[in-house]
Structure 1
Amino acid sequence: MSRVQIAIIGGGLVGASLALALQAGARERQWKIVLIEPYAPGDSYQPSYDARASALSYGSQQIYQRLGLWDAIAPRAEAIDDIHISDRGRFAAARISASAEGVPALGYVVENAWLGHCLWAALDSDVVEWRCPARVEQMQTISDGYRLDLDDGSSLDCDLAILADGGRSGLREKLGIHAHTTPYGQTALISNISSAIPHQGTAFERFTDAGPMALLPLADNRCVLIWTRQPAEAQRLYGLPDKEFLQELQACFGYRLGAIEQVGSRHLYPLSLIESSEQVRSHLVVLGNAAHSLHPVAGQGYNLSLRDSMALAECLLSGPVTPGDLATLQRFQNNQQRDQELTIGFSDRVTRLFSNGKPLLASGRNLGLLGLDLIPPAKRWFARQAMGLGVRGAQDKS
């Protein structure tokens, strides 16, 4: 029976980022980390028009800078220089710019495949072992950790198990950890598009009575489209021929980018706010989307999970030589509680406010956007939330 100090179940972006944050300290402490992932990471990066992407806040860029990874990520990272926020059919709009906030960019949009490629290449196989492709079928508590039964018939003991296997974590349910689910009654349609006018680093957040939409700048003059609608309407849009789809998208978004000329493959994702009822137990942490899954339009989910991962790494590396004691894990949760509450609350309130078509709320929303553009303290607060600096502030900016 083999044993490691830390087993990270889920080798995606969150799990790999945590492994990288732990790597140097784990080497000093002679810890062994294993990443268990059912899908084999690609050995090489191949650019694709349809590549899925993530929006990294300025705070997340600073994290990867501190981890020594940003120089590798940067060649395929598209800077968000400005954010344009508007409400369809109403006059008010707000604009947030990196130059006004005194930062090089408000955030960056990076293809997931490229970000994953950079992360995986930075992991040291002497410290971090891959079990891939492999899936954990069962987890059982033992006196000093967890025993993991894998789908290849092998078993592995660990001092600390970290559950980072996504928002539909079957293992979380098997452990009796419930998730509080609040459906938004919306489905996100996600695709990449190209337009006649270059995006010039502008991200667009557009709110309509039928649901919010976002266009995020991506490399090669593409944009990531996140278009939320009621499920039946999203399904209808999903099934339209490209020409008809582009016509409806153009009518909803307008011509700020000129004619929208191309759309890639479309994907549908039902949207809910999902929060795990527990994030830590003795020898166990629930992390990433398994801990909290947010609406994508506000762009906060992955950035919060990355901050959680860094806070966990910091607590583990300043804690006992053997990881997994409950006091250290509770300290991590207490340290992140305020950040999680503010970020989840910000994302949820923005989503609900800007998805509501009631006339009174719509009028208030219009005034709110006008005030956001005219009142500097309000704009700065909103910008800091969007940049992932809402809680840590100067610490993340330094």
Structure 2
Amino acid sequence: MADRQAWDTDILIAGGGLAGATLALAICRLVPGYRVTVVEAFPLSGDPAPGDYQPSYDARSTALSWGSRQIFERLGLWPSISAQAAAIRHIHVSEKGRFGVTRLDASDHQQPALGYVADNRWLGLCLMESLAQQPDIHWLAPAQAEGVTSLQGGVRVMIRQDGEARSLTSRCLVVADGGRSGLREALGIGIQKEDYGQYALIANVSTEQPHQGVAWERFTERGPMALLPQVGGPEDGHRSALVWTLSPADLEEVLALDEAGRCARLQQVFGWRLGRFTRFGESHHYPLALTTANECVRPGVALVGNAAHALHPVAGQGFNLALRGLMALVEAFRFARDNDMPPGDLRVLERYRQQHAPDQQQTIGFSDSLIRLFGGGYPALGPVRNAGLAGLDIVPGAKHWFARRAMGVAAGGPSRPSSDRDREHWQ
């Protein structure tokens, strides 16, 4: 205990976005006793409490798998999140111009939903409301973690806040500052990056026909796209989140169109299964690449979320993989606490790496293979893709495997608790 008091904090989380905030809450709820400091580059939100939330048509959203719902239930967050989460009851996977189709239905798996879609802002509000009730969490925002020095038993982190530099000592640093992690670069941790040569265009769209809880995965000769159901707002039931993969040239053409032109172009690619596209909201775009860090742990340091791995968004696996990684890290911290070890001890962090690595490798492999098989044209592979989709739809074992992947419960699902006390959450 005396050694612990020599440190400014036990666990310093660099990045207070969805991944960093969820980790802070999970530590306090599931492994109480640690002092947690969160360093976030943006000011804390001044948005109203969740009870006053009004959905925005153009809010960006995140797909949550069934396994992620289980994690949020364990953290006590799901009752609030579910109030503004659209249930994905069906998934329809198809390729333009081919007859092969795969249909997944939640009822086939005795579940009310295969997954959910929630606005990022809503997720943030629910997290912040819960975090405000945790006395062991200290926020530094806006502030930036700029450098790290290794110490015996921990690290010293250089912080810049209000134009002034200072340092904090911590027994463990968790890097959660996103795919363009400046702290990862400052640590000298390299990445493996495979550029897909495409962009993701993100927007909310409205359709003439209601989505009825269907998520559409559509593979075209130019790249894949997804339409995910959303709830809330004046167009409740007709609004979907679009993830549209485009080449640089196609992106430039689409961005040059007005709203009616974008709706018409999307109609050509997606088809008429939901009737006419009636609205095309504010769009965002970014280049697509598969990125993995060369190291995810070293003494006193762990990488999580997009700082550790960033995936193609169409398969909807990125944030869900990150959540499972967070829970694996929390279980490693539990091991450290129960065995009176520093949370940044390399033996502790290796437990996190070893538990998360198989899930990371399998999920990245599944997502990347899906995109490479269906997402880049390759006309010669058309019959193979077509037969694959048709086969998934008629072969129960293959379809079940694909559904388990989509639900985020394959390969053991979310990281399971190691203590009997928490086992009831997974029955």
TM-score tier (shorter): over 0.9
Which residue of 1 is the match for residue 15 of structure 2? 10
Query: Between the two proteins, what is the percent identity of the paired residues?
Result: 47
What is the match of residue 99 of structure 1? Answer: 107
- The separation in 1 between residues aligned to 2:361 and 2:181, in whole angstroms, is 22
Among candidates 13, 33, 37, match of residue 36 of structure 2? 33
Match of 1:112 in 2: 120
* Residue 127 (1) aligns with residue 136 (2): yes
**Residue number in structure 2 paired with 1:343:** 363
> Secondary structure, in 3 states, of the residue corresponding to 2:8?
strand
Structure 1 residue 91, shift from structure 2 partner: 1.2
Q: Cα–Cα, structure 1 residues 326 and 242, in superposed 2: closer, same or farther, change >3 Å?
A: same
How big is the shift at 1:2? 6.8
The number of residues matched between the two structures is 396
**Which residue does 1:266 correspond to in 2?**
283
Q: 1:46 to 1:156 in 2, by over 3 A?
A: farther
Name the SS for the 1:194 alignment partner: strand
Q: 1:102 Cα shift?
A: 1.2
User: Which residue is equivalent to 1:226?
Assistant: 243
Aligned to 1:176, the other structure's residue is in SS state coil
The answer to whether the aligner puts 1:161 opposite 2:173 as a matched pair is yes
Q: Quote the offset at 1:315 in angstroms.
A: 1.1
1:56 paired with 2:64, answer: yes
In the alignment, which of 21, 45, 50 is matched to residue 26 of structure 2? 21
Partner of 1:144: 153
Q: Does structure 2 conserve the Cα–Cα contact (< 8 Å) formed by 1:189 and 1:238? A: no
Tell me if the contact between 1:26 and 1:32 (Cα under 8 Å) persists in the aligned partners. Answer: no
Asked if structure 1 preserves the Cα contact closer than 8 Å seen for 2:68 and 2:414, the reply is: no
Cα shift at 1:360: 2.2
Structure 1 distance, partners of 2:62, 2:251, is 21
1:356 to 364, 369, 376: 376
Cα RMSD (Å):
1.5
Distance, in Å, in 2 between the alignment partners of 1:303 and 1:383 is 15
For residues 139 and 282 of structure 2, what CA distance do their matches in structure 1 show?
A: 31
Which deviates more, 139-148 or 96-105? Answer: 139-148
Summarize the Cα distance change of 1:67–1:198 in structure 2 as closer, same or farther, 3 Å threshold.
same
Q: Specify the alignment match of 1:68 in structure 2.
A: 76
Shift of 1:26: 4.5
Of the structure 1 ranges 149-158 and 371-380, higher mean CA displacement relative to structure 2 is found in 149-158
Alignment of structure 1 residues 248-397 onto 2, 5 Å: 248-319=265-336, 320-321=339-340, 322-393=342-413
Query: For 2:359 and 2:29, how far apart are their aligned partners in 1?
Result: 26
Tell me what 2:209 maps to.
Answer: 197
Task: Give, in whole Å, the separation in 1 of the partners of 2:172 and 2:256.
Answer: 45
Change (3 A) 1:25 1:203: closer
Q: Secondary structure at the match of 2:76?
A: coil
What is the rounded CA distance, in whole Å, between the counterparts of 1:62 and 1:260 in structure 2?
Answer: 34
Alignment deviations for residues 191-234 of structure 1 (CA, whole Å, 9 cap, x no partner): 00011111010000000111000000011231000000112211
| Structure 1 runs, 4 residues or longer, greater than 4 Å off | 393-397
CA deviation digits over 1:302-344, x for unaligned, max 9?
0000000011001111224331100010011111111111100
Indicate the SS of the match to 1:307: helix
The aligned amino acid for 2:156 is R
| Alignment check: 8 A CA contact 2:153 2:345 kept | no
The Cα of 1:239 is off from its aligned counterpart by 2.4
Tell me, what secondary structure is at the counterpart of 2:118? Answer: strand
- Deviations 1:87-131, CA, capped at 9 Å, x for gaps: 001111110000011111000000001001111111134111111
- Opposite residue 150 of structure 1, the aligned amino acid is I
Partner residue of 1:81?
A: 89
Contact 2:29 2:75 in 1 (8 A): no
Shift of 1:46: 4.4
User: Structure 2: how far apart are the matches of 1:122 and 1:349?
Assistant: 38
**Cα distance in structure 2, aligned partners of 1:189 and 1:394:** 29
- Shift of the alpha carbon at 1:394? 9.4
* 2:316 partner amino acid: G
Task: Tell me the amino acid that sits aligned with residue 40 of structure 2.
Answer: E
- In structure 2, what residue type is equivalent to 1:389? V
Opposite residue 237 of structure 1, the aligned amino acid is V
Q: Deviations over 1:121-149 (max 9, x none)?
A: 11134111111111112222122211111
What SS does structure 1 have at the residue aligned with 2:315? coil
- The one-letter code of the counterpart of 1:20 is L
Which whole-Å CA distance do the structure 1 matches of 2:31 and 2:110 have between them? 36
Aligned to 2:220: 208
**More displaced 10-residue stretch of structure 1: 129-138 or 303-312:** 129-138
Contact map agreement 2:327 2:414 (CA 8 A) in 1: no
Q: What is the rounded CA distance, in whole Å, between the counterparts of 1:383 and 1:313 in structure 2?
A: 27
SS at match of 2:177: coil
Contact 1:238 1:267 in 2 (8 A): no
How does the TM-score come out when normalised to structure 2?
0.90
Distance change (3 Å), C-alpha of 1:394 and 1:294 = closer
Partner SS state of residue 86, structure 1: strand
Q: Which runs of 5+ in 2 are unaligned?
A: 1-5, 417-425
